[in-house]
Amino acid sequence: MLEIDIKKRLRDFDLEVNLRVKAGEILMLVGDNGCGKTTLLNLIAGLLKPDAGMIALDGRPLFDLNRKVDVAPEMRNIGYVFQSYALFPHMSVYDNVAFGLRTRKLPKKEIEFLVRDHLTGAGLWEIRNARAVDISGGQKQRVALARALIIEPELLLLDEPLSALDVRKQAAMRRDLRERIHTCGVPSIIVTHDLRDVACIGDRACLLEMGRVVLSGRAEDAVSWCAIPSAGTGET
Amino acid sequence: MAAGSQSARIADESKHGLFMASDQAKINYMIRLPEEGQEVTGISVRAKEIALKVGPAILLILAVAFIALPVVSLFIKSPMDATIRSLHDPVVMDALRLSLMTSSLTTSIVILMGTPVAYIHARFHYFGKEIADSLIDLPVIMPPAVAGIALLMAFGRMGILGHYLNAFGISLAFTTLAVIIAQVFVSSPFYIRQARTSFEDVDRSFESAARTLGASRTYTIFHVILPIACNGLISGAIMAFARSLGEFGATIMFAGNFQGRTQTMPLAIYTAMQGDLDVSLCLSLILVAISFLVIALVKTLTRRVYKNAGN
């Protein structure tokens, strides 16, 4: 269970979010560009610091202003898939996936076993020696996801995981993504601006506007949100 | 059947199209033929085009020749056997050894001190950063002779800092250490500038990704940021090495010109020119060869950097 109740002053508006995500639940975060979606993910991951409030994961506080808790991002154990995947360009696919295990100083044998397992599962074992910059967009997405999942995160954050793929691949990837995330059984937040993603992948959906959650409901209902004028265009 | 008739139709159409095209050409030809003046304007247009290409070509050849001629002359004017004989001259050997030693040490110092500075300047803002930035770049613009005097005023026997060092019996000026100090002073901006842009080119998302994957700040710097910026750093270091190898003005003012102690290659070239030109030529050829090597290295390294950035 992820609990968020934070405030952060941004350049154009104040981000003020109060959210709960249950274990195994996929929350889709929808909204226009610049509404604070990525900022919210960075706040949860600890890459940015909230001005006030608290973030707790399974009862463990990650950030709490009153109790002066601010866990460093490397200690939060959160799997984060970045918008452009942020695969390390100087490393092979194998080294990218192994990175999170090496920072945890796992024994070499165990790293080899786990990486092999994850790469085979994602259909990437054949390209393990390719440099991360030389592979296709779909492969990059799977490497980024494998890299985030191999550390057995307690929370998954995905920032526009499908936006870099061409439209034809997106449909297949949506199903794939939902399956993979569901098998982890951890709370997940996926940021998207594509309402088609919402119903296909998510369980629940939130619409973020100017840093506030303005609509919230079941993922299936999100498709109808675009009929609401303020949801479609934003009131900016 | 249907497919066959369709392909036949396409063939027919294309044939028709062909007729159309050739008809058009015939008409054009017929229209153009009677006009005599057209031919003349055609020639003048072509002449203009040629002039537009030849003009820049001549300029380019002149510019390249201007730079190439002195270098080529150096090779032509130095007799092979005399040059090889000069290699055994103690002046040449001492200068070569001293130059390579001091420049290598200078480059190491510049890398060790400059890399953190470049990283801080690429990532963080602090009060007075603009001033610090200008100061770092100052030695590039400052005339080397001025740099030499400035160093003497700071670290010389009567200098602001040297005055105190002298009290402890430490004298910096006119020693090999002074050569290194002068070289660090003039060559550090070359490295810091290049290193800073290399760090700026490393996307912050790589840093963020490493942190969320459990890497501390230090681990991220050594395993992610430095390897990605590596090519840029190396080319910056090579530039600094080349600059310190060629350092003349500040060295002769601050370190003097003592063979084997402070007489680096440029100083030896200058000194030998008064007597034995062959020694000067021999040293010059070595420096030219190193310059070529430096340019080639920097070019290949930066090319690979751009390729990485494009992906």
Torsion of CA A111, A113, A114, A115, to 10 degrees: 80
Q: What angle do CA A32, A33, A39 make, to 5 degrees?
A: 110
User: Which ranges of chain A have pLDDT less than 50?
Assistant: 229-236
Taking a C-beta distance cutoff of 8 angstroms, is the pair A141, A165 a contact?
A: yes
Exposed, middle or buried by CB within 10 Å (0-12, 13-18, 19+), for B19? exposed
Subunit contact A100:B227, Cβ cutoff 8 A = no
Start-end ranges of CATH 3.40.50.300 in chain A? 2-77+155-233
How far apart, in Å, are the Cα atoms of B224 and each of A2, A95, B202, B211, B218? 30, 12, 9, 10, 10
Cα(B81)–Cα(B83) distance, integer angstroms: 5
Extract the tokens encoding B161.
Answer: 């800092």
Q: What angle do CA B216, B220, B224 make, to 5 degrees?
A: 160
**B214/A contact by beta carbon, under 8 A:** yes
CB-CB neighbours of B238 under 10 Å: 20
- A-chain residues within 8 Å CB-CB of B224? 88
Exposed, middle or buried by CB within 10 Å (0-12, 13-18, 19+), for B270? middle
- B-chain residues within 8 Å CB-CB of A90? 227-228, 230, 308
A69-84 tens-digit pLDDT: 899 999 999 999 998 8
Cα A22–chain centre separation: 15
A203 Cα to chain B: minimum distance (Å)? 25
* Torsional sign, CA B196, B200, B204, B210: negative
**Torsion angles phi and psi, residue A15, rounded to 5:** -85, 125
Subunit contact B205:A42, Cβ cutoff 8 A = no
Subunit contact B203:A76, Cβ cutoff 8 A = no
Amino acid type, B243:
R
Q: What angle do CA B275, B281, B283 make, to 5 degrees?
A: 100
Q: Which of B208, B216, B227 sits opposite A86 (nearest CB)?
A: B208
Task: Tell me which chain A residue has its CA closest to the CA of residue B222.
Answer: A103
* Torsional sign, CA B214, B219, B225, B230: negative
Cα(B100)–Cα(B90) distance, integer angstroms: 15
Q: Which of A83, A89, A103 sits opposite B213 (nearest CB)?
A: A103
Exposure of B3 in the CB half-sphere (CA atoms within 13 A): 0
pTM metric for this prediction: 0.79
DSSP B202-216: S-HHHHHHHHHTT--
ipTM: 0.89
Q: Where are the alpha helices (DSSP H) in A103-201?
A: 108-121, 137-149, 167-184, 195-201
A2-77+155-233: what fold? Rossmann fold (3.40.50)
B175 Cα to chain A: minimum distance (Å)? 43
Task: Tell me which chain A residue has its CA closest to the CA of residue B207.
Answer: A86
* Non-local CB neighbours of B285 within 8 Å, separated by 6+ positions: B74, B75, B78, B83
pLDDT tens over chain B, length 311 residues: 344 444 444 444 444 444 444 555 555 555 555 445 555 567 788 888 888 888 889 999 999 999 999 989 988 888 788 788 888 888 888 998 999 999 999 999 999 999 999 999 999 999 999 999 999 999 999 999 999 999 999 998 888 998 888 888 888 888 999 999 999 999 999 999 999 999 999 999 999 999 999 999 999 999 999 999 998 999 999 999 999 999 999 999 999 898 889 999 999 999 988 887 888 888 888 888 888 888 888 888 877 654 444 33
